Amino acid sequence: MRILDKVIVITGGASGLGLATAHYLAEEKGAKIAIFDLNQEAGNKVVEEIGADRALFVQTDVSDEASVQQAVDAVMTKFSAIHVCINGAATPAGFKVLNREGKAAPLAKFAQTTAININGVFNVMSKCVEQMAKNEPEAGEERGVVINVSSGAAYEGQVGQCAYASSKAAIIGMNMPAARELGSIGVRVNAIAPGLFLTPMAAALDEKILNSLKEQVEAPPRLGDMREFSHCCAFIIENAYVNAETIRLDGAARLRSR
């Protein structure tokens, strides 16, 4: 699918990898961007930077059905179509199965993680795909593309990541059944499992911690550049034969247990 003038929804697009991708796809690929995020101030800033004619921000709780429907309706009102959905909104929510006193973690903490990281992904994906189905197929094949953001933790979760790792593994599990179902209407579904990236949050870490993280990356021995994630999104969108796949984007990093 050509990216120029396509409408791309990015959840969690007001910060980190989502923000970098919004700028890359808008400024270097000519896309129109819709940001779904909770951070009103940051979201408005993105629109100001990209330009109100090519960007939209809607304050959105991805775990809430009405909130997502309202956001999708706003995109359709402004741009009249949705071609790509990138689901990046997530909560890390680190906690152990048993606390220091040997007490079980409250189920509510686990449920809060899955509400955002699994339910939220399905919620946005399904409502965006409903609109993609109305698009004229490009080159007689494609009406839309979905990219769901997983994590290296889906494969090698660390101690304290039961909720996060399982929620990210669930995203990978969505790929094949969703791709098989939606392929009939010309929608592809893929995932990216990013490793350690030099986001603003990572850049603020102590130098010793950063060096420790770099040691876990095989080659190149550094944290990922956010543009490399953005470029991977563009590759998936543009290559019509990539479907039902999860791309591990991590420099062959395999994190230690702690």
Q: Among all residues, which ones are annotated catalytic?
A: 164
Instruction: Provide the token pair at 134.
Output: 């109305």
Is residue 195 within 8 A of residue 224, CB to CB? The reply is: yes
User: Residues near 206 by Cβ (< 8 Å), separated by ≥ 6?
Assistant: none
Q: What are the C-alpha distances in Å from 148 to residues 121, 205, 243?
A: 7, 27, 12
Burial of 145 (0-12, 13-18, 19+ CB in 10 A): buried
C-alpha span between 250 and 247 (Å, rounded): 9
- Report the alpha-carbon distance of residue 44 to residue 49 in Å, rounded: 9
User: Residues near 110 by Cβ (< 8 Å), separated by ≥ 6?
Assistant: 162, 163
Residue among 15, 14, 119 nearest 64 (CA) = 119
Distance CA 99, CA 78 (A): 48
Our separate counts of H helices and E strands in the chain read: 9, 7
For the chain, the residue count is: 258
| Residue type present at position 130 | E
